[in-house]
Amino acid sequence: MAYEVWEMRSGNLVASFGTEDAALALVRDAVDAHGEEYGRHLALVLEDDDGNSTAIAMADRLLDRVRIPA
């Protein structure tokens, strides 16, 4: 099983991780470095052991998952 971060405009895989937390940390770091507009073009996808992919969150929903409550 792998948690993948995809850049939706280009369709490129950014990175793949063994845990959702690690994938979300990458998204959080990317948003910190490049801004929320960049984050709106990312998607978090779960690929199971059979190679089937399921979108977990993308765009604003993904940003909601990585925001740290004030």
Q: Is the pLDDT of residue 70 over 90?
A: no
Look up the domain containing 11 and give its range.
2-66
Q: Residue 67 has what pLDDT?
A: 82
The total number of structural domains in the chain stands at 1
pTM of the model: 0.91
- Asked if 58 contacts 42 with a C-beta cutoff of 8 angstroms, the reply is yes
Q: Residue 68 has what pLDDT?
A: 62
Q: Residue 45 has what pLDDT?
A: 98
Could you give the angle at the alpha carbon of 28 between the alpha carbons of 27 and 34, nearest 5°? 85
Q: Using alpha carbons, list the distances in angstroms from residue 32 to 6, 8, 29, 55.
A: 17, 19, 5, 23
